[in-house]
Amino acid sequence: MIDRRNLLKGVTAGLGATFGSSIVPDIAHAASVTPGLTGTGGLKRVIFFMQNQGFDPKTCLPTAGVGNDGSLANATLPEPIEALDPFKDRLHIINGLHGRHTSPSHSAFFGALGGYRGSDGVPPSASTIDYELSKVLPETLLPHLCIGMDSMENMKAKPTVANLSASGAGQPIFMHSNPNHLYQMLYGGISTGDIRKQHEARSGMFNRIEELAAAKGGSLPAVDAQRYSQYVDGFGDINGLRERLGSVSDHLRDFAPEVDSRYTTPVFETDWHDSLLDLGISALKSGITNTLTIGSGRGEIFGAWKGLGVEQQGHNLGHMKQPDNPIWVKIRQYNSRMLVKLMEELESVPEGSGTMMDNTLIVYTSNNADSQHTSGSNWPVMLLGNPGGAFTTGKLTQLDGKRPINALYTSILRASGVKVDRFNMSDQMAAKFDSGTGPLKEILA
């Protein structure tokens, strides 16, 4: 049995400050807790799975067998999510939340997880829910890991991109899209051969850049010096993370995925998608991170699934109706298999008197409400898991479209022990976009 409680004790001290630049991925936040946010709930880790191009409710609403109480016990799940049928007792389908205030259109970008207005090229106006949760969940070496799945061309051309998560206003968090780079970052120190050589070369380069940056920044004007210091801190965070991972190298060897041809010679982009998922799972199981955000389509209108036999890609997919569309059935089924793999892998690891899955919540939705071109009036969500018995499960909840996605995020914060009535929504905004206050009583036990 893995003793995760004491695994990282004494190792996680000294995480560097958050930085936000377009040059260095934001990979090592301080796990300090914002005043007033003190997590004491049963939730120990959370996974956000964001599929682009919208989440049409007809692809998740049961086709039969749901009574007045909304129980899924005898429900027939639609073809796109039928892989989740064995897990209906852990599933909660929520229909009728809204995100009109996020102005999603093609995508809400940072607004999808931030619950505020988002747009293409617009920086985040506040932190997102995944980052806020990473601060109150049990501390880890890397509080927050984001992985982004896209076409092979996009993932190679832009191995990191920031569209979904943020640690604060103007502070984007980067998604990792090249599994080779992410593997080197997480496991390069325990690897051999070329991977180890590349890891050492990158480490030496980052150390040298940090030294040079620290030495050269002092003569800059005050405004530029402040921004320059963020770059310095960023490289310091990278180097510090490598050292911390090295300090638990013996433990990490038990979790590092095998590097196979999917990494080095992928046939389709789905080979990299699968590899990224494996790396995300390994980071959770090993205790490297407690918050995983998966961006399928990377929060944009792109994305490709040629490995599923889907030749169309990118923007055109969003102009197709999703219900009963064989293309979208394949994509959603692929997502569902990923969700099943996440659950089964976490279920296989003992934790406390149960398993890791007993203390995990998975949130599956879209960064773009119900469709690519949308007003955001309906934002379907599926929850999987019931950490600490905080949620009701095995049911469908139909809401009236008057409560925003912010209320869901408030509910998850409550489940993690944070006493908060609103998330990223002022009273003035709430007067226009929220008919209630506090969490969603329909989903909390």
CA-CA-CA-CA torsion sign (134, 275, 321, 397)? negative
Residue 38 backbone phi and psi in degrees, to 5 = -125, 105
| pLDDT(375) > 60 | yes
> And the tokens for 243?
């050292």
Q: Which residues contact 378 (CB under 8 A, 6 or more apart)?
A: 57, 95, 96, 97, 98, 369, 370, 401
3-class secondary-structure state, position 424: coil
> And the tokens for 249?
């190298």
Supply the pLDDT for residue 371.
94
Confidence of residue 207 (pLDDT cuts 50, 70, 90): low
- d(C-alpha 233, C-alpha 254), whole Å: 31
Q: Are 183 and 263 in contact (CB under 8 A)?
A: yes
Least confident range of 140-149, 183-192, 382-391, 397-406: 183-192
DSSP letters spanning 286-304: HTS-SEEEEEETTTTT---
Closest-CA residue to 129 (of 434, 425, 333): 425
- d(C-alpha 206, C-alpha 184), whole Å: 13
Q: Enumerate domains of the chain plus CATH numbers.
A: 45-184+265-433 (3.40.720)
| Beta-bridge partners for 366 | 51
| pLDDT(385) > 60 | yes
Q: Are 404 and 352 in contact (CB under 8 A)?
A: no
Residue 250 backbone phi and psi in degrees, to 5 = -60, -40
Q: Per-residue pLDDT averaged across 291-309, rounded? A: 96
Instruction: Name the average pLDDT for the chain.
Output: 84
pLDDT in tens, 308-349: 999 999 999 999 999 999 999 999 999 999 999 999 999 999
Closest-CA residue to 105 (of 120, 122, 124): 120
Q: Which residues contact 337 (CB under 8 A, 6 or more apart)?
A: 83
Between 408 and 27, residue with greater pLDDT: 408
Q: Are 112 and 367 in contact (CB under 8 A)?
A: yes
Q: Per-residue pLDDT averaged across 204-210, rounded? A: 50
pLDDT in tens, 139-161: 898 889 999 999 999 999 999 99
Tell me the pTM: 0.85
Supply the pLDDT for residue 143.
86
| pLDDT(201) > 90 | no
- d(C-alpha 99, C-alpha 424), whole Å: 13
- d(C-alpha 69, C-alpha 57), whole Å: 19
End-to-end, the C-alpha distance of the chain in Å comes to 30
DSSP 44: -
Strand runs (DSSP E) across 207-306, as ranges? 291-296
Strand order in the sheet with 381-384: 160-168, 171-176, 145-149, 291-296, 45-51, 360-366, 381-384, 91-95, 395-398
CB-based burial of residue 171 (10 Å sphere; 0-12 exposed, 13-18 middle, 19+ buried)? buried
pLDDT in tens, 216-248: 555 555 555 555 555 445 444 555 676 777 777
